[in-house]
Structures are given as structure tokens and as C-alpha cells.
Chain A
Amino acid sequence: MKTDVLIIGAGGAGLMAAIAAKEEGASVRVLTKEYPTRSQTCMAQGGMNAALGNVGEDSVEAHIANTLKSAHGLADEEAVRFMCSEAPKAIEWLDSIGVCFSRTEESKIAQRALGGASAKRACYAQDYTGLKILHTLYDRCNALGIEILSEKFLLELLKDESGHLCGAKTLNIRSGNIESYEASCVVLATGGYSRIYGKNSTNSTSSTGDGIAVALRAGAKLLDMEFVQFHPTGLKSSSILISESARGEGGYILNSKGERFTNELAPRDEVSRALNAEIVKGEEIFLDIRHLGEELIDEGLPQERKLAKLYENVDPVHELIPIRPVAHYTMGGVEVDKNSQTNISGLYACGECANHKVHGANRLGGNSLLEIVVFGRVAGKEAAKEALKHQVSDASKEQNAVAFSFESSENHAVDFYAIRDEVGDLFYKNVGIVRTKEELLEAQKRVAEINAKLDSMGVSDNSQTYNTNLVEFLEFKNMLQICEVVVAGAIKREVSVGAHYIV
């Protein structure tokens, strides 16, 4: 059955869009390649910015100023103003649906400092902020009876004769069949592309930029794809994130000599460059939170302690945590206007896959959860309003199951997993924290070579059902396409700005 609005992606942005579209009176269906609650949003730890002033003075104007400063002139002031002004209402709404935010002694929502912020502005729920917001949004979707279909991998966006978006074609991962879902409007909420950096990323293995690649193939405009945020405190061996709140609470960054060498609470791009400069000198880098004490660590940073023990075999209460900067958030995405509308009629986008021009050249910590709630709502509402202008026809054709056809072979000349790792390391080195023209050109050349050899790579698993080898190959091809755009954008931008630092 056709729906008014089809949402692709069930992370925070997608679920928020679904809720808003439903509340607008539209029929809604959500598709996800995973399950709802398993998206990247659950990994957001630090907090969500809103100038509530619950802990010391703050103002929406200060929030706007901090966001614009971090964006280095590449943000749209009107969009930033809208997002920051909506923030207190967004928090109030999340509170009203039951998000378990941490509280102050005065029984208000607690707030803490994150990098680049002039006040304690990030509302948090221990270090599980994203997890608790995401799960509460999921519960709200259930309350509204929103249909969410899991394990559907986006293949293609469908257009009608007039070029208006009219649905999406997906691979049912379980059956191996191609399915089409018709809708009057489509909202993309498929997340970012940090996994082009392979294992040098804090992100879930699912952050492969599928929606952006598919939108590009459908003719969508992408904007500022070369801007990738490197988070200073990934665990050294696994790239798993240690939240910025560790520094917000007063943690230090030290080199091998035990010296502090940077302002820990500067914006992430600056801190990552400072770390990179030390690493180039041969220093090892550590995060030190020992002086915060066991009680504060267990209350405010319980995940951090658990992850450091598990992946680095260190207990941060007594030991230093080995870290390095790794790819964390992608500022670039599908260009949208203030109504979350892309350049394709009927296609909307929100969350990390979209570029609402609020992060510019560098996102401020605590603004990504804010963005998905504020613009997720805009995207859902606008898509619903547009969809409700059109008549939902019941003429949608009954479709017979068509198997997704692919060739599999036991012996491919080139193993795409090895190439995926190679590209990840190459991009970390050449299209990473500090870039040079020569290294960028070298990366571009290598991506072109790989593209030319794509025919010699492919799927080994011939199973029709639940073929993860096939899904990963499709993701790999999406990532390659994104890599081309990222490196081309980086070459074209000859002056350093924010996270794009060229020497």
C-alpha cells in the first residue's frame, strides 16, 4: 500500500520525522537497513545543546555565536538561529515524552560543558544521551502506531514521469527480493559516511553513506562533502569513542612526557590538529581523567570506564587512556533548504545525511542531537504537508517477488574487503586531519584506479537469504562513490577552513 510519507532510516532523525509527519495527519512508513534503536544515534554520548541556563547563565544568542564561530563562516545564520532558538522547546518536548535526562539538585535538567561552548549548555543523560533519546523516540513511534520495517536496504529512489519522487526500491535483506515502496514524498534519514575511513572511525559499521550515494545517483545536490570531523579522543587501537564529556568534566590530554599541550575544550578540529602534530613528532597521546575521581567517573562517565577497560585494558580511574583522533562526524550531505527540501521534488532529507548548513566547516559538540530533533521535525512536517496536497492513489500495483540478481563467484581477482580497508587507511592519511594537494591528488588517483577495477571485485556468497557479503559489497560501492566526491571537494577547496586543513 502506498503511504503519504516514506522515511528511510530509523535513527533519531528518521524517527523524529516519522512522529512529526504522523502528527501532521499523514500516513507514514519507516524503512531501515537495521532495526530501529540500532542506529548511530545510540552512540551519541555527550549531550544535546539548548541554552536553558539551568547551570549558570546562558543565552540563545551565545549558542548561535558559538555555533557560527565553530562553523567558520560556512553556516547559514538563519538556519543556525532557527535551530538554536528551537532548542529549548525541543528539550521540553523530549522531556514530555519521557527522556530520562540527568537532573540538578534544583530538579531541573542538568547541563555540562562541551568544547567550543561559552556555557554549560549540553543536556545529558549520563553518557547515554543519544541512546535514551533514540529509545524514547522509538517508544513514541509505537504510541502513534507508526509502521517500521526492518532490514530493508535502500537501492534506488523512484521518480514519476514528471520527475517527482514517488517511492524507493529496496533489497529485503532477509528474502533477497527487490521491493518497491510507493509514497507521495520521501524523507532520507540515512546517516553519515564516516566509515569511508574504515577502522579509523568511531562510527557504527553501518555509517556507509548509502542514502547520500543513492540521492546523488538520483540527481540530488551534495554540499561541502570534504568536511569531516575528527574526534580527538578515539581509543587508540579500536577507534571507539571516549566522549567529549570526559574533557568537559575536566579531563586532560597528555603526551608521552606527561605534558598538557593543548586547550582540551577548544573545538574538535583544533584539538585534533594539536594531537596530530604531537603524533607526527612521535609522541603517544593519552586522556587523563584520574583526578576526577572514581565517584564522578562512575556517575557521569560509566561507559567510558567500561570501554577503556575492555578495549585498552586500562582502568581510567587509575591509568592513562591511549587515544588518537579518528573520523567521527560528516558535516557534508544532501543540500536542503530551510524546509529540509532537496533539489528533487518530493525528496526531503534530515540528520547526518543532510546538510542544513548549521555545522558549516566544523560541528560543535552537542549540536548533532539537537539537529536531528529540530530538523527531523521540520523534514517530517514539510514532507507531510506536501504529501497531503496530493491524492494518495490506490492504484499501486501488486508486485510479484523479484529476486535481486547478482553474480557471485568463489574467486574474485580482488578482495573488496581488502580494498575497503586500504581506502580507509588511505583516506585517513591523505584526506584526513591535515591535507596536502599532492596527497589529495594521490588519493583521487587511487580511487579512480579502484573504480576501474570494480569488475574484478564482487560477492562470494551466493545465498539469496541474508547475504551480508552482498550488502557489504553494495555499501562498499556506495562508499567509493562518496570517496570520489569527498576528495574532489577537498582538492577544489584550496584554502583551509575548519575541519578542512590544507598545507
Chain B
Amino acid sequence: MKISIQREKELVEYEYTLKDATLLQVLESIKMQEDKTLTFASGCRSSVCGSCSMRVNGKEILACSYKVCDGDVVEPLKNATVLRDLVVDMDKAYAFNAKAKAWLKSQPTNTLLSPEDEKRNEVQSDCILCSACYSACPVYSVNEEFLGPFALTRVWKYVSDKREGDAADKIETVQSSGVWDCTLCNECSVVCPQEISSKADIEKLRAKSAQFGFMDPSFGNFGGFGSNDGSPVF
């Protein structure tokens, strides 16, 4: 059986014999037996560390939980600089967590949370920061500063948390290059290995933004009030 791997300069085809194997197992066997320069990242092998995210046939997957098929084409994530072969530089992506102020501001103690309260952001707190959603997001082709799906899901996790007594700061932070820049295309939800829907979280953040008096800037500009250079008015 064969798979093709995007190396530094070209797509290279490799034979493999492992049956019913994960992509990570196949990559490891190629590296051990054929080519020690093959470069990829991995860690836990059990889909919780997020290290081995890459693309197969154009779709984001975790190499440790994807079963290889004959003819698969393996490529690095998009929207990030390739460091070598299947490894990309995640620094910029990670930095959006801080830019979006994805943390609990209030720090209250002994808040009573019912199982229902906990369920409100249980799925969002399953995120493993594999950046599959970040790679799949089309917004980056027009706005490189977009806070992006995982950071916005993280913001919703804290905004929706009963323990957060002061969400205003976060809501304000996600107005620019944030919730309104999303096209709601849902690509992020499709590729998430943890079944998180960032699109749905962004929609909830939009509703919350409206409660805080913010509105979609593309509507705000229709009347032509404020500046007359055509730029959005906030």
C-alpha cells in the first residue's frame, strides 16, 4: 500500500505494509526503517495532546487516531509556517489565546455549580489545542489577525462559565478581528476531533455581544454615519 507525504520540496510516495494502522504508526515505521529525516510531531498517541495534527487528503486529522488508507496524501496544517515536512510553527496560533483574553477574570471561590451549570461549557473545555480548526478556517486568507475558532471557543468557555462575574472585557476584546469576522462556514466544526463547534460558540458570542450593546459592524456602516471614508464604525 502507498501513501504520499508532503516533504520540504515535493510530494514523496512511500510503501507501507502495516495493516489496520494509525497514520502515526505508519509515519513512525517509515522514519525508523526508511528515512530518518522524515519530520513530524507526536506525543501522547491517545488524542489528548494535540501534537500530531496534520492533513490527509485535504482534511485535518490527528495522526494518532486516523487509520491510514491506501493512496492517502499527507500534508502539514495550513495557515501556519511550515518548519519542516509535517511540522508547522504554532506560536502565532497559540498567541491568539492571550490576545482573546481567554481566561477567568473573576476568580471567585466556592461557587456552587450544578451538573447542568458544568455541562454548559464541558464540551468547550475538552479542547486539546490541536489547531485543526485553525488550519481549516478560510478567514485567515483575508484576515491574518482573526482571533480564530479555538481562541473564540475558549472565550465562550469562560464567558458562559457561571464563575465568570465580569465578561464585559472579553466581549469587548472579541469585537475586532473576532466574532464578526467569522463567515459561519462551519469548517472548524467538521474537523474538530473533540466534536466542538466553534461556529456555534461564535454565534453564542455574537448574541452575547448584542446584549452588551455591540453590533455587527457591517450593519453599523450602512447609514453612513460617522467617518465617511467607508471604514467600519464601532
| Chain A interfacial positions (CB closer than 8 Å to B) | 34-40, 42-43, 92, 95-98, 100-105, 107-108, 125-126, 128, 131-132, 135, 138-140, 142-143, 145, 150, 174, 204-206, 238, 240-241, 303, 306-307, 310, 313, 417, 460-461, 463, 465-469
| Chain A residue contacts of B49, Cβ below 8 A | 34, 37-39, 42-43, 204
Q: How far does the alpha carbon of A469 sit from the alpha carbon of B30 in the complex, in Å?
A: 13
B109 and A95 contact, CB distance less than 8 A? yes
Q: How far does the alpha carbon of A466 sit from the alpha carbon of B90 in the complex, in Å?
A: 14
| Chain A residue contacts of B22, Cβ below 8 A | 310
Contact of A139 among B103, B122, B163 (CB under 8 A): B103
Contact of A98 among B42, B65, B129, B158 (CB under 8 A): B158
A142 and B115 contact, CB distance less than 8 A? no
A140 and B103 contact, CB distance less than 8 A? yes
Q: What mask results when residues 101 to 143 of chain B are scored 1 for a CB within 8 Å of chain A, else 0?
A: 1111101111111110110011001111100000000000000
Of listed B44, B101, B110, residue having the most chain A CB within 10 A: B44
The reply on B204 being an interface residue by CB < 8 A is: no
Q: How distant is A151 from chain B, measured CB to nearest CB, in Å?
A: 9
Q: What mask results when residues 11 to 48 of chain B are scored 1 for a CB within 8 Å of chain A, else 0?
A: 00000000010100000000010001101111111111
Contact of A42 among B48, B110, B121 (CB under 8 A): B48
Q: How distant is A312 from chain B, measured CB to nearest CB, in Å?
A: 11
Q: How far does the alpha carbon of A174 sit from the alpha carbon of B91 in the complex, in Å?
A: 12
29 CB < 8 A contacts A-B = A35-B94, A36-B94, A38-B43, A42-B128, A43-B48, A96-B163, A100-B157, A103-B113, A103-B115, A103-B117, A105-B114, A126-B122, A128-B126, A132-B125, A135-B127, A140-B103, A145-B98, A303-B47, A307-B46, A310-B22, A310-B65, A460-B37, A461-B36, A463-B37, A463-B84, A465-B84, A466-B83, A468-B39, A469-B37
Q: How far does the alpha carbon of A43 sit from the alpha carbon of B164 in the complex, in Å?
A: 27
| Chain B residue contacts of A101, Cβ below 8 A | 118
Q: Which residue of A lies closest to B100 (CB)?
A: A142
B46 and A43 contact, CB distance less than 8 A? yes
Q: How distant is A156 from chain B, measured CB to nearest CB, in Å?
A: 24
B97 and A142 contact, CB distance less than 8 A? yes
- Dominant SS among interface residues on chain A: loop
B83 and A150 contact, CB distance less than 8 A? no
B112 and A107 contact, CB distance less than 8 A? yes
| Chain A residue contacts of B90, Cβ below 8 A | 35, 150
B102 and A142 contact, CB distance less than 8 A? yes
What are the 6 tightest A-B residue pairs by CB atom distance, in nearest-first order? A98-B104, A466-B84, A107-B112, A143-B103, A142-B98, A100-B125
Question: Known: A139-B97, A204-B44, A310-B65. Contact between A38 and B50, CB under 8 A?
Answer: yes
The reply on B72 being an interface residue by CB < 8 A is: no
Interface size class of B (residues with CB under 8 A): 35 or more
Question: Known: A34-B51, A42-B48, A97-B104. Contact between A460 and B36, CB under 8 A?
Answer: yes
Q: How distant is B52 from chain A, measured CB to nearest CB, in Å?
A: 10
Task: Beyond the given A135-B129, A238-B45, please list 14 additional residue pairs across the A-B interface where CB-CB is below 8 A.
Answer: A34-B51, A35-B51, A37-B129, A42-B49, A92-B110, A96-B163, A100-B118, A100-B122, A107-B117, A108-B112, A138-B97, A150-B94, A303-B48, A465-B83
B114 and A103 contact, CB distance less than 8 A? yes
Q: How distant is B77 from chain A, measured CB to nearest CB, in Å?
A: 13
B37 and A107 contact, CB distance less than 8 A? no
Q: Which residues from 122 to 177 on chain B have a C-beta closer than 8 Å to any C-beta of chain A?
A: 122, 125-129, 154, 157-158, 161, 163-164
Q: Which residue of A lies closest to B158 (CB)?
A: A98
| Chain A residue contacts of B101, Cβ below 8 A | 143
Q: How far does the alpha carbon of A290 sit from the alpha carbon of B77 in the complex, in Å?
A: 39
Q: How far does the alpha carbon of A461 sit from the alpha carbon of B118 in the complex, in Å?
A: 49
The reply on B68 being an interface residue by CB < 8 A is: no
Q: How distant is B105 from chain A, measured CB to nearest CB, in Å?
A: 8
A135 and B114 contact, CB distance less than 8 A? no
Q: Which residue of A lies closest to B120 (CB)?
A: A100
| Chain A residue contacts of B107, Cβ below 8 A | 96-97
Q: How far does the alpha carbon of A150 sit from the alpha carbon of B91 in the complex, in Å?
A: 8
| Chain A residue contacts of B20, Cβ below 8 A | 313
A37 and B125 contact, CB distance less than 8 A? no
Q: How far does the alpha carbon of A303 sit from the alpha carbon of B46 in the complex, in Å?
A: 9
Q: How far does the alpha carbon of A212 sit from the alpha carbon of B46 in the complex, in Å?
A: 25
B103 and A417 contact, CB distance less than 8 A? no
| Chain A residue contacts of B50, Cβ below 8 A | 37-38
B83 and A174 contact, CB distance less than 8 A? yes
Q: How far does the alpha carbon of A33 sit from the alpha carbon of B40 in the complex, in Å?
A: 14
A139 and B126 contact, CB distance less than 8 A? no
Contact of B154 among A131, A139, A307 (CB under 8 A): A139
Contact of A103 among B37, B48, B97, B118 (CB under 8 A): B118
| Chain A residue contacts of B39, Cβ below 8 A | 466-468
Question: Known: A35-B94, A42-B44, A107-B112. Contact between A469 and B36, CB under 8 A?
Answer: yes
Q: Which residue of B lies closest to A173 (CB)?
A: B83
The reply on B87 being an interface residue by CB < 8 A is: yes
Q: How distant is A104 from chain B, measured CB to nearest CB, in Å?
A: 8
A107 and B114 contact, CB distance less than 8 A? yes
| Chain A residue contacts of B47, Cβ below 8 A | 303, 306-307, 310
Q: How far does the alpha carbon of A469 sit from the alpha carbon of B50 in the complex, in Å?
A: 21
| Chain A residue contacts of B112, Cβ below 8 A | 107-108
Q: How far does the alpha carbon of A393 sit from the alpha carbon of B197 in the complex, in Å?
A: 49
Contact of A96 among B84, B109, B114, B121 (CB under 8 A): B109
Q: How distant is B30 from chain A, measured CB to nearest CB, in Å?
A: 12
| Chain A residue contacts of B103, Cβ below 8 A | 97-98, 139-140, 142-143
| Chain B residue contacts of A105, Cβ below 8 A | 114-115
Q: How far does the alpha carbon of A389 sit from the alpha carbon of B37 in the complex, in Å?
A: 47
Q: How far does the alpha carbon of A379 sit from the alpha carbon of B157 in the complex, in Å?
A: 30
Q: How distant is A478 from chain B, measured CB to nearest CB, in Å?
A: 17
Q: How far does the alpha carbon of A16 sit from the alpha carbon of B114 in the complex, in Å?
A: 27
Q: How distant is B104 from chain A, measured CB to nearest CB, in Å?
A: 4
Q: How distant is B110 from chain A, measured CB to nearest CB, in Å?
A: 7
| Chain A residue contacts of B46, Cβ below 8 A | 43, 240-241, 303, 307
Q: How far does the alpha carbon of A126 sit from the alpha carbon of B126 in the complex, in Å?
A: 10
Of listed A37, A40, A463, residue having the most chain B CB within 10 A: A37
A95 and B118 contact, CB distance less than 8 A? no
A38 and B51 contact, CB distance less than 8 A? yes
Contact of B121 among A100, A142, A205, A463 (CB under 8 A): A100
Q: How far does the alpha carbon of A310 sit from the alpha carbon of B67 in the complex, in Å?
A: 9
A131 and B128 contact, CB distance less than 8 A? yes
